[in-house]
Structure 1
Amino acid sequence: MNHDKLTPINSEIVRLKHSRVLSGQAPRTLDLFAGCGGLTLGFDAAGFKTIGAVEFDPDAARSHAINFLSDRPSELFKVHSQAKDITKVEPAELMKMLELTGPIDQQVDVIIGGPPCQAFARVGRAKLREVADHPEAFLQDPRGNLYLRYLHYVRELKPIAILMENVPDVLNYGGHNIAEETCETLSEMGYSCGYTLLNSVFFGVPQMRERMFLIAVASEIADKVSFPSPTHWIEIPRGYEGTRQVALQTVKRGLFDDDAFFVEPPVADRQHCQPAVTAMDALSDLPKITEHLTGGLKKGPRRFDTLVPYPQSTLTNYAKTMRTWVGFENAEGIKDHVIRYLPRDYDIFRRMEPGDQYPEAYKHAVALFEERLAALRRTSGRAIGPRSKDYQTLWTATVPPYDVSKFPNKWRKMEADAPARTLMAHLGKDGYSHIHYDCEQARTISVREAARLQSFPDGFILSGSMNPAFKQIGNAVPALLAKALAENILRMLRSKNIEKISPKKAQTI
């Protein structure tokens, strides 16, 4: 493929969109692979305005629409709330569906999202450039690479700024540095680009969650891109630093890599940053849950149909933020404060110490079994041996079945005085990675507590029942980190006065 065939973003489009932003109007965002809207939540809070989203999961798509687009007419709201397959919906078709009239390249100022990276290693630079210049190329690619689809939307809608998010491993995926190669293509399309690794805990999120972020801004607006400075500090556990170093193995960082796009992660200054937000800071004001310990919780779906009032308590600054987030205020209580039914494990949870993982939990379970077996022998007056049915039944009812050597990190009890570890999408399946720090409650975290740890405000509504809601939260970008990134991008968009057009003309795009 001849690189000269790449078509850079049109200068007139850049000028029109930038002038609109400089006139004070909110930049219009489109969220691709949006999930329930962690990025949208942060961008809207920073002064952007979402015009729509593309999301494949029905529950997540509906959550996004309920929270950000509920003011649309009923028929248009239905369109927003429907799941959309980005591999089948063309940008022009999407603009028509969203009733955005006029040239499609004048409707979107900023594209945000985290496209999955599956199959990228089998595609590489040549296919990236092909898609950048030929919109049909993706449709002819049977591997259906979603990163390519993201770039196709960029090519067609011509945003003046872009934000991509993904896991750190995207920097070393099958021998490819996807972020670097994506920046190469975006650079040829007329964007200044950069990418780095950011940990959400440094931006006021009560969770240590490391992700790759890529920012691109039209080169006529910004000569280079920057990333937000940390506002909070904590000493990160060794495991996170090790994961970061593995991800950075393929990154160009030397003195002779001036053409590389990697930006060294900003360093938190302990002297000037606030202490990291802890799990207790984030969760202590929420209602206690204990009915599972007295038989009040039954197995089955958990719906969000019962309001649980807030208890009287002193609010931390973080709790105040979660209750008073503009547009998502909540002064009454919460409906999604629901937990998993795990009767075998409550006594194990109670005995675990903060920071304990599965090996320690397993030892507690075996000790519980031995105590219960001794009690059973006393009350029955029988010698109950390892081959007996009673012995096996009691073992199964007390001890988890997972191999300690294969699943050392499957369980973990949170520390009250530290931020939580990374929430994962498999919260939708078990939740053992986040056992509540309060021994008296002896449980895994609730849906609302997971949302708090991702900095989703209490007024944010999650569509569906418990399992889909856990999955939506686990997949999301923490809202406060998204807000910091959005504010940084908005500063870049407003920092340079290119030739202005009339306010009247700016209103037309």
Structure 2
Amino acid sequence: METGEVLVIDLFAGPGGLGEGVSSVADGDGNKPFRIGVSVEKEPSAHKTLTTRAFYRKIKVLDGGLEDYFNYVRGKLTRDEIFELYPQQAQEAIYETLEEPRALGEDNDLIHSRIRELIITHQGPKVVIGGPPCQAYSLAGRSRNAGIKDYKAEDDHRNFLYKEYLKVLSIVQPDVFVMENVRGILSAKLNGNVMFPQILQDLRDPGLVTEVRGVAKYRVFSLVVEANDPSDPQYPDSSDFLIRSENYGVPQARHRVILLGVRQDIAHVPDTIHPMKQAVTVEQVLSDLPPLRSGLSKQKDIQKDWENQVQINAKKLERILKTRFESGAVDKLNLEPMLDLERQSSLVSELERIIPAHLEDWYLASHPGCVLNHATRGHMTSDLLRYAFSAAFTKLSGGTSPKARDYPLELAPDHENWDSGVHVDRFRTQAANKCATTVTSHISKDGHYFIHYDPKQCRSLTVREAARLQTFPDNYLFEGNRTQQYVQVGNAVPPYLAQQIGNIVMKLLE
């Protein structure tokens, strides 16, 4: 690693959203000071994505590297073939991601040894980033745990993975650390006590927990609320650490706790990220992607059969909608099916782009000339009509997705809880004129919460569309099967938000 570079240790990295944003930060001269030294991830498909991206960062600056990467993502080169073209960079990428999936708490000897190797030879600033897995803290995870017989939070190792983060802090003693987690961490309890104040205290003095002498202490700052006393930052409300992504240029209402730790010997006080005046809408970031048809599940998937079904549904839908909305508004929708739509597309669309300026270059820089990970899943024919109804209702209502009570009896699914009031938004359209709801890993199970706003496409979002909502660049390839890709996108930190955090860290280190 060159002199002046900032060494980044990326823990619980997922597909690399936090690392992507931080490593993209450039100074006034265009130099990118952050260099990822090691990325730790245990899930195999996410680890493969992480390695691919590490490799991309290393070859894109070489003559022909970008074009060869494009040939890989277009399927013209295999993974083995492109690695053989750039053996040194391939080995560096593999080394960066620890050769294979690794888990903190299970592979600590290797992980800690590799980190020690890096910090011995590195003379510049050091940064640790990452978010311990959130299943045990998330509201949904806690709801699931409540249904498990004899479940005890104090016995769930996932509640203590942040202590693995503390162990790495004790080894690296970075100038700055960034720790991300779900908002549920603010209210999660252990033995009846809210955990968050103790987590904050542990992060301020990691050596006390890890029982390692001589470990630096930290001041922990919010990235959105200024501290009353920078020398001893205290925040009266734990929600001061909550970042609402939609306020910072991300087209998604993703609310996450992000903590910024600054070593006590560093006197500088970090800035806060600045909110943008207008939220980015779903339509702004998805409308230029090629339209697709959904697949037909539980039967042979034939394009003409899909078109015929949507044609039949259009007449039913028109009748149903006219009982709820003005006939003229319904007629303007034109619910007739698009013809000759494919289920996947790698072709760049000719549709007009309305992406806001701050995201257009972010998405499209070094574009591969094709659309990656843009393929639909299959849906039951009955869901085609429900999806179309939900999308049409959302559009006609000005952006409100229908609840269970808004569906006519003939569209009610055969769900036990449909009329119970428990799952009133079992189907949810991502409204064109609003930011998206939180993209979660649940999108991998079914698309009911992530219906495309266009009623003529009758489908859920593709991986690429979900990735756009998460602000991944268009050249970011997600490896693995489609289900694994959805999980990766749903678990990631929005890279554009991470870049803004990285800019604050860079200024702090200067």
TM class by smaller structure: 0.5 to 0.7
Secondary structure, counterpart of 2:378 in structure 1: coil
Residue 419 of structure 1 and its aligned partner are, at CA, apart by: 0.6
1:336 equivalent to 2:369? Answer: no
Give the Cα separation in 2 of the matches to 1:315 and 1:68. 29
Which of 106, 112, 129 is the equivalent residue of 1:88? 106
Which of 52, 58, 61 is the equivalent residue of 1:66? 52
Partner residue in 2 for 1:490: 506
TM (norm. structure 1) is: 0.66
Q: Is the 8 A contact 1:117 1:147 kept in 2?
A: no
Identity score, percent: 27
Q: Is the 8 A contact 2:428 2:449 kept in 1?
A: yes
Secondary structure, counterpart of 1:229 in structure 2: coil
Residue 400 of structure 1 and its aligned partner are, at CA, apart by: 5.2
Structure 1 counterpart of 2:164, which letter? R
Distance 1:320 1:446, change over 3 A: farther
Partner residue in 2 for 1:116: 133
1:199 equivalent to 2:244? Answer: yes
Residue 222 of structure 1 and its aligned partner are, at CA, apart by: 3.3
Cα shift readout 1:264-302 (whole Å, capped 9, x = no counterpart): xxxxxxxxx2x2110000100000012637833999xxx
Which of 438, 443, 454 is the equivalent residue of 1:427? 443
Q: 467-476 or 45-54, which moves further after superposition?
A: 45-54
Secondary structure, counterpart of 1:29 in structure 2: strand
Q: Is the 8 A contact 1:193 1:225 kept in 2?
A: no
Give the Cα separation in 2 of the matches to 1:224 and 1:324. 28
Q: 109-118 or 344-353, which moves further after superposition?
A: 109-118
Residue 183 of structure 1 and its aligned partner are, at CA, apart by: 2.9
Partner residue in 1 for 2:256: 211
Give the Cα separation in 2 of the matches to 1:322 and 1:96. 41
Give the Cα separation in 1 of the matches to 2:368 and 2:156. 50
Superposition map of 1:35-46 within 5 A: 35-46=14-25
Question: What root-mean-square deviation, in Å, do the aligned CA atoms of Structure 1 and Structure 2 show?
Answer: 3.2
1:438 equivalent to 2:454? Answer: yes
Distance 1:94 1:105, change over 3 A: farther
Give the Cα separation in 1 of the matches to 2:472 and 2:175. 27
Structure 2 counterpart of 1:33, which letter? F
Which of 439, 458, 463 is the equivalent residue of 2:479? 463
Structure 1 counterpart of 2:485, which letter? A
Give the Cα separation in 1 of the matches to 2:429 and 2:136. 35
Cα shift readout 1:134-167 (whole Å, capped 9, x = no counterpart): xxxxxxx994721111100110111111001111
Partner residue in 2 for 1:126: none
Secondary structure, counterpart of 1:103 in structure 2: helix
Partner residue in 2 for 1:34: 13
Distance 1:399 1:182, change over 3 A: closer
Partner residue in 2 for 1:472: 488
Partner residue in 2 for 1:190: 217
Give the Cα separation in 2 of the matches to 1:418 and 1:350. 18
Cα shift readout 1:155-181 (whole Å, capped 9, x = no counterpart): 011111100111112112115454432
Partner residue in 1 for 2:184: 169
For structure 1, list consecutive stretches of 5 or more residues without a partner in the other structure: 1-16, 121-140, 233-272, 300-304, 370-397, 495-509
Partner residue in 2 for 1:255: none
Secondary structure, counterpart of 1:50 in structure 2: strand
Q: 145-154 or 407-416, which moves further after superposition?
A: 407-416
Residue 105 of structure 1 and its aligned partner are, at CA, apart by: 8.3
Residue 480 of structure 1 and its aligned partner are, at CA, apart by: 1.2
Secondary structure, counterpart of 2:295 in structure 1: helix
Which of 39, 58, 63 is the equivalent residue of 1:53? 39
Structure 2 counterpart of 1:296, which letter? Q
Superposition map of 1:94-109 within 5 A: 94=111, 97=114, 100=117, 103=120, 109=126
Partner residue in 1 for 2:315: none
Give the Cα separation in 1 of the matches to 2:101 and 2:44. 5
Residue 62 of structure 1 and its aligned partner are, at CA, apart by: 1.1
Give the Cα separation in 1 of the matches to 2:90 and 2:116. 13
Q: Is the 8 A contact 2:246 2:279 kept in 1?
A: yes
Secondary structure, counterpart of 1:39 in structure 2: helix
TM (norm. structure 2) is: 0.66
Structure 2 counterpart of 1:478, which letter? P
Partner residue in 1 for 2:311: none
Cα shift readout 1:345-402 (whole Å, capped 9, x = no counterpart): 01111122113245057x24x3358xxxxxxxxxxxxxxxxxxxxxxxxxxxx65565
1:296 equivalent to 2:303? Answer: yes
Residue 461 of structure 1 and its aligned partner are, at CA, apart by: 0.6
Residue 456 of structure 1 and its aligned partner are, at CA, apart by: 0.6
Give the Cα separation in 1 of the matches to 2:199 and 2:114. 28
Structure 1 counterpart of 2:217, which letter? G
Partner residue in 2 for 1:388: none
